[in-house]
Amino acid sequence: MRKLCCALVLVSVIGLTACRRSRPNNCPKDMEEVPARSEPGKSVYCQSSDKKRAQWIEWHPKTTRPRQSCSYNDGKPTGSFTAWLPDGKPWIQGQYAMGFKTGKWRQWDASGNLVAEGDYRSGRLVAGAPVAAMAGCERAATK
């Protein structure tokens, strides 16, 4: 009986510990979560050991589905940016270079129709329609 009680307590403790982390941290293998920049249940901010590279992921409320994700180099958004609709379909896609939107940015509606496409150079719209006034990456970089 005593062994059964101990086993139940151990299972309960393990279960509670697992429940505290309701979402995976999703950090790339060469990065660690930065708790001060992460928001439990909402987003995770991961950083390389040299603090030069980082990855930020935000989830849709009350789900484990990503809402948006981007990479940083030396604190500036760099590389691909993607935002998804709650059903997992792409909403916005584009690229950053040294903190500025660059190249083609595209935005789709819930049916998958392309609704905006703009060409950016150094953060300025040079052709087409504006896409995503300020992506979450830009806000997260300023924290």
Contact 137, 81 (CB under 8 A): yes
Q: What are phi and psi of 37, to 5 degrees?
A: -105, -5
For residue 137, the number of C-alpha atoms closer than 13 Å in the C-beta half-sphere is 29
Q: Which structure tokens are listed for 89?
A: 């379909």
Q: What is the pLDDT of residue 28?
A: 86
Nearest to 127, CA basis, from 102, 110, 109, 108: 102
Domains of the chain as residue ranges with CATH: 25-141 (3.90.930)
Q: Going residue by residue through the chain (143 aa), what tens digit of pLDDT does each one get?
A: 554 444 333 333 333 333 334 445 578 889 999 999 999 889 999 999 999 999 999 999 988 899 999 999 998 999 999 999 999 999 999 999 999 999 999 999 999 999 999 999 999 999 999 997 666 677 666 55
- CA distances for 120 relative to 24, 89, 90, 136, angstroms: 34, 23, 19, 17
